[in-house]
Structure 1
Amino acid sequence: MKDSTLEQEIDLLKGLARDDRKSVEIIYGQNYNLIQALVVNNNGTVDDAKDIFQEAMIVLFDKARSGSFELNCQIRTYLYSIARRLWLKRLNQSDRRNADFDDTNETQVIVEEDVAQHEQKDAEFEMMHAAIHSLGEPCKSLLASFYFKNKSMQAIAESFGYTNAENAKTQKYKCLMRLKKIFFSQYKKQDK
């Protein structure tokens, strides 16, 4: 990649990491048609292409936000490789794969590891969501107040009726241990 192209690509990734609408629109505009052609030319529909593009954008977004992602190809090539991998996986799952898969539009970048990590994270988030959901009250609200609403221990003590911030802190710890136990019991079941 030329230096000016590389700089533009890096700026787009930085914008994507900041959730900058303009950067997202540029990436979308420059790359969607390529992904749509890949999917539609290989037994897919326009709706399939939209889904695959969204999934590829989420992987790219996660990578851009990680801070450790080093782009060594064009965003177009990276997105194409992710979309290709996702589409092949979906075709294999649905037995729609055609032996003459048309893959002449772009060079390939190995992204299997990135996609696998993303899928693993999604599964873990789902398990954590289920664990939080099964946690029950008052633990669910207490942890949400502290971690999501950023309330102080003193404010939590007052709203939950604890005598002081130390008691609220102790209860938060107990709730975290319960959540951890629920999460890891689900995690172990998944591994079996």
Structure 2
Amino acid sequence: MESVKNITEQNKLVAAIKANDPKVLQMLYQENYGKIAAYIFKNSGSKPQAKDTYQEAFIACYQNIKEDKFVPQSETALQGYLFTIAKNKWTDYLRSAHYKKVQGMNEVVSLGLEAPEPFSSDVSEEESNLDLAMTGFSKLGDECKSLLKLFYFEKKSMEEISELINITDASARNKKYRCMQKLKTIVANLKD
């Protein structure tokens, strides 16, 4: 009988949300933020990203409740539903082209090369850094060149790359990591 009581509590919570009860909305928001933020931090996120993702998820959950798209089935259904929405939004972001572009630039910068600033007055330094990167790239083996071209220049996902070169996703990720390590080592040696 306890779970029926708790489902009844969930139904009351849903009814209060539909009625725009500010205390219930604030309680729901505050009680669930920590768990969702922790998930996002654990999966490569920052505090602002956690806050943005949580707010988007909270709004989506609120709208779904208002539109009767959510009916509680257990004693923690609403909290689980909110967490699932946030998790899916974060996963979508991690799969997005924007995230891949940012990660790609971070990896280039981690090679020790500065990302060029628009209209930089020191063009020769930019050219020197680009020359180092290209020289390092040219010294890589054909497999590494091919894999890095597919990922960074053609913006293929690791899943697509693994299918193209007939290996598992995990093997493709490991190979990409090893290729980037080789490139970093080559560029570091060229700088010395």
TM-score class normalised by the smaller sequence: 0.3 to 0.5
TM-score (normalizing by structure 1) = 0.46
TM-score (normalizing by structure 2) = 0.46
Q: Which has the larger radius of gyration?
A: 2
